[in-house]
Chains A and B, each alone.
Chain A
């Protein structure tokens, strides 16, 4: 039981990190960024490339080396997200929603098969694999590495939440999600703030990618697809556009999968996710923490 809960939280932390960017981008420009999962994949590949290049110097998989690679990958994926928004999404921002959605699907394929061209279609094995001694908490096996990864994920989520709630640009981001035009009247460079949102969301996805590569050991160019769908599900569970909702949704989805797998068998895991998504969309389309409507006319 404790084991199932821990497994759920561990996987859920990855979902939450990716879901945050998904939900934030949706909240601010109402775009379902289907390429978001692929940014996670790029993070994993970026980490792979750097660790391979540094070669033996990081043998043994020290956490410090991994942290450096993590930060560099976050910067790289963050900038990639900014460029993606600039070249693919900004031109269609005022176009009908469907155009933007198709653009996002196109961006997703472009990134996936572009990566396959550059890095090859076969899965790569991460040069650093985290495996180590396990702690026994109640009756669960918990590795130190898992704790470190969850710790990093939580730290990133807290940092991002502080950014959204406490900083000038975070406040502007929330304001833009409500009324971009009014933000122009306040003198907000709306495009600039949107770029920041893409940077931060993409950096979080990149971080999740590096950690997943290091933990699960392999990376491949399609690895972003499924996690993208799961992050979307997590975002919808929490209420898309809602930042704490994305974290809650990610953890809940992780727990649901963990228990679902235990009861129904591993082959049902992904089916389970989508059943949850469909049920939720039917029963409570606004998600658990979905937007309350308090506007007065």
Chain B
């Protein structure tokens, strides 16, 4: 793929008390790539993203983003460096309006005009959000909330967007929409790290993919190759 890397994770170790969640996990995302991370429940996917975001501390290993060491950085420095995390379960602020949720995405953007411009663009991308701008976030449907979570991340104009199971709990058609949006965001130059249980949907838009098991990479390769790899087909794509 491209020469420069958006994200390089090397030999990452993370523990929750006595639980070793990541043991020596390494992966990378090239600039402009979509990289999928697949794995069963409890494999360590969310932990990987949370560690990059500075919300969970690494006890070993390194995280480098756009050539800069960001290991165990402060969450706001990491967002400031252009790495935005769309969290598992969306985490919409349920009693803030749709519009205020978007504004929260621009918390570190000093330029109000830029926030306003990007907000307009999000409303163009997701007209449903524009129609519901005054509505409380918690009253949106699951699909709308996921759109809002992605839109909120876009206000920060990320260089790398990390999404944690954006398809969770959504109807197949809505999953298709979301994947289309992620692909479109990627085509504007944003690198994407996409964690998914829905391997089929993720592999359809990804350039490369990693399969992680118990905190370490078990398998990796080009998305097209993994989609036909018998180990992946048996374990993650069903018969």
Q: Do A and B come from one complex?
A: yes
A83-116 at interface with B (beta carbon < 8 Å): none
Which of B107, B140, B142 lies in contact with A186, CB distance below 8 A? B107
Which of A181, A186, A291 lies in contact with B104, CB distance below 8 A? A186
Stretch at the interface among B20-28, B89-97, B180-188: B89-97
Q: Are the C-beta atoms of A296 and B91 separated by less than 8 Å?
A: no
A149-199 at interface with B (beta carbon < 8 Å): 168, 171-172, 174-175, 178-179, 181-189
A interface footprint on B121-158 (CB within 8 Å = 1, 0 otherwise): 00000000000000010111110010000001000100
Q: Are the C-beta atoms of A294 and B87 separated by less than 8 Å?
A: no
Complex Cα gap A117–B139 (Å):
54
Complex Cα gap A184–B50 (Å):
10
Q: Are the C-beta atoms of A294 and B76 separated by less than 8 Å?
A: no
Question: From A193, which residue of chain B is reached at the shortest CB distance?
Answer: B107
B interface footprint on A282-297 (CB within 8 Å = 1, 0 otherwise): 0000000001001110
Q: Is B80 located at the chain interface by the 8 A CB criterion?
A: yes
A259-297 at interface with B (beta carbon < 8 Å): 291, 294-296
Q: Known contacts A171-B104, A175-B96, A189-B76; is A182 also within 8 Å of B139 by CB?
A: no
Q: Are the C-beta atoms of B53 and A178 separated by less than 8 Å?
A: no
Question: From B86, which residue of chain A is reached at the shortest CB distance?
Answer: A185
Q: Is B85 located at the chain interface by the 8 A CB criterion?
A: yes
Q: Are the C-beta atoms of B100 and A185 separated by less than 8 Å?
A: no
Complex Cα gap A129–B105 (Å):
50
The total of chain A residues at the interface (CB under 8 A) is 20
Residues in A whose Cβ lies below 8 Å from that of B78: 187
A interface footprint on B59-101 (CB within 8 Å = 1, 0 otherwise): 0000000000000001110111000110100011111100010
Which of A174, A179, A188, A294 lies in contact with B107, CB distance below 8 A? A188
Q: Known contacts A184-B55, A187-B108; is A178 also within 8 Å of B103 by CB?
A: no
Complex Cα gap A179–B79 (Å):
17
CB distance from B116 to the nearest CB of A (A): 14
Q: Are the C-beta atoms of B91 and A294 separated by less than 8 Å?
A: no
Residues in A whose Cβ lies below 8 Å from that of B94: 178, 294-296
Q: Are the C-beta atoms of B93 and A182 separated by less than 8 Å?
A: yes
Complex Cα gap A189–B79 (Å):
11
Residues in A whose Cβ lies below 8 Å from that of B87: 181-182, 185
CB distance from B159 to the nearest CB of A (A): 14
CB distance from A94 to the nearest CB of B (A): 13
Which of B100, B105, B138, B152 lies in contact with A294, CB distance below 8 A? B138
Q: Are the C-beta atoms of B96 and A186 separated by less than 8 Å?
A: no
Q: Are the C-beta atoms of B91 and A182 separated by less than 8 Å?
A: yes
Q: Are the C-beta atoms of A179 and B138 separated by less than 8 Å?
A: no
Q: Are the C-beta atoms of A181 and B107 separated by less than 8 Å?
A: no
Q: Are the C-beta atoms of B55 and A294 separated by less than 8 Å?
A: no
Q: Are the C-beta atoms of B95 and A294 separated by less than 8 Å?
A: yes
Complex Cα gap A204–B84 (Å):
36
Question: From A184, which residue of chain B is reached at the shortest CB distance?
Answer: B75
Q: Are the C-beta atoms of A185 and B85 separated by less than 8 Å?
A: yes
Q: Are the C-beta atoms of A174 and B91 separated by less than 8 Å?
A: no
Q: Are the C-beta atoms of A178 and B107 separated by less than 8 Å?
A: no
Q: Known contacts A185-B85, A187-B75, A189-B76; is A168 also within 8 Å of B91 by CB?
A: no
Complex Cα gap A139–B55 (Å):
62
Q: Are the C-beta atoms of B156 and A187 separated by less than 8 Å?
A: yes
Q: Are the C-beta atoms of A294 and B136 separated by less than 8 Å?
A: yes
Which of B54, B76, B92, B96 lies in contact with A188, CB distance below 8 A? B76
Q: Are the C-beta atoms of B104 and A294 separated by less than 8 Å?
A: no
Q: Are the C-beta atoms of A296 and B139 separated by less than 8 Å?
A: yes
Q: Are the C-beta atoms of B100 and A171 separated by less than 8 Å?
A: yes
Query: Which of B53, B75, B141 is the most central at the interface, judged by chain A CB atoms within 10 Å of its CB?
Result: B75
Complex Cα gap A294–B97 (Å):
12
Question: From A182, which residue of chain B is reached at the shortest CB distance?
Answer: B91
Residues in B whose Cβ lies below 8 Å from that of A171: 96, 100, 103-104
Q: Are the C-beta atoms of A172 and B104 separated by less than 8 Å?
A: yes
Residues in B whose Cβ lies below 8 Å from that of A187: 75-76, 78-80, 107-108, 156
Complex Cα gap A172–B80 (Å):
16
Q: Are the C-beta atoms of B76 and A178 separated by less than 8 Å?
A: no
Residues in B whose Cβ lies below 8 Å from that of A296: 94, 138-142, 145
B26-67 at interface with A (beta carbon < 8 Å): 53-55
Complex Cα gap A171–B152 (Å):
14
Query: Could you give 7 example pairs across A and B, Cβ below 8 Å?
Result: A174-B96, A179-B93, A184-B76, A185-B84, A185-B91, A188-B104, A294-B139
**Pairs of residues from A and B, 7 with the lowest C-beta to C-beta distance, nearest first:** A187-B79, A182-B91, A187-B76, A184-B75, A187-B108, A294-B138, A295-B138
Known interface pairs A178-B94, A187-B108, A188-B104; 8 further A-B residue pairs with C-beta atoms within 8 A, sorted by A's residue number: A171-B103, A174-B96, A185-B55, A185-B79, A188-B76, A294-B136, A296-B138, A296-B141
Q: B residues within 8 Å of A by Cβ? A: 53-55, 74-76, 78-80, 84-85, 87, 91-96, 100, 103-105, 107-108, 136, 138-142, 145, 152, 156
Q: A residues within 8 Å of B by Cβ? A: 168, 171-172, 174-175, 178-179, 181-189, 291, 294-296
